Structure 1
């Protein structure tokens, strides 16, 4: 069921003009995704935005960053066990210290992308559900959508 954008009357789905008021009817197109870059571009983006807590981050950016950190930690643990070296253990500790702030920042931006405050990051159990949710289409109070660039805002006034 399709309705006229001008007068609200019911229309045939393929009608280019409303027969009641003559208003042109535009067909809504599917949203375009802004997908620029591969795994390392998304995984390293939080380091380029080291302590940026404003704005938004896609699920891809958040989860690729965590996957990258897990891979680096796995490699450090593997080499620490292989060489029985405590200096590699210190590298792992240094990695945690260096990545803590960008990890919190990308988590806050990820929550902003689902139109939630970054303070939700303090509730770890709820976070798994919130961080897996899709982006809100259009702009929200934290800025334009990185996933749906140029899409009009469909939120209620």
Structure 2
């Protein structure tokens, strides 16, 4: 879980996608508090939001790949609800192996 956080390749399951969203909202809450407590809070928030946006885009693309869809579908408003609820493709698909299958160890 949580491998290649900023990569757009591969697949993730519902649990990792949910935890990604929860962690992002917790960090955003902390950044929001920073705007009121730190003198340069707005700069800190802006600097923190750039990697967070990239992270959530990457996680969204990987979740779309987990269901066998293109990552571009996440631009549809409200589509993230479907990504939280829909089961991923069983087994491998064109985007990679199932995240539920354990990785094979070399002999």
Structure-2-length-normalised TM-score: 0.79
Identify which of 10, 34, 55 aligns with 1:55. 10
Aligned residues of 1:135 and 1:147 also touching (Cα < 8 A) = no
The runs of 4+ residues in structure 1 deviating greater than 6 Å are none
Q: Which structure is larger by alpha-carbon Rg, 1 or 2?
A: 1
Q: Deviation at 1:89? A: 2.4
> Whose RCO is larger (CA < 8 A, sep 6+)?
2
Superposed CA offset, 1:39-69 (max 9, x none)? xxx4xx26x432x222101122222122112
Q: How many residues align?
A: 103
| RMSD (Å) for aligned C-alpha atoms | 2.1
Q: How does 1:34-113 map to 2 (within 5 A)?
A: 42=1, 45=2, 48-50=4-6, 52-81=7-36, 83=37, 85-113=38-66
Q: d(CA) in 2 for partners of 1:137 and 1:76?
A: 38
Q: Deviation at 1:104? A: 0.8
Aligned residues of 1:137 and 1:148 also touching (Cα < 8 A) = no
- Say whether 1:130 aligns with 2:83: yes
Q: Which has more helix, going by share of residues?
A: 2
Q: d(CA) in 1 for partners of 2:16 and 2:98?
A: 13
Structure 2: gaps of 5 or more residues: none
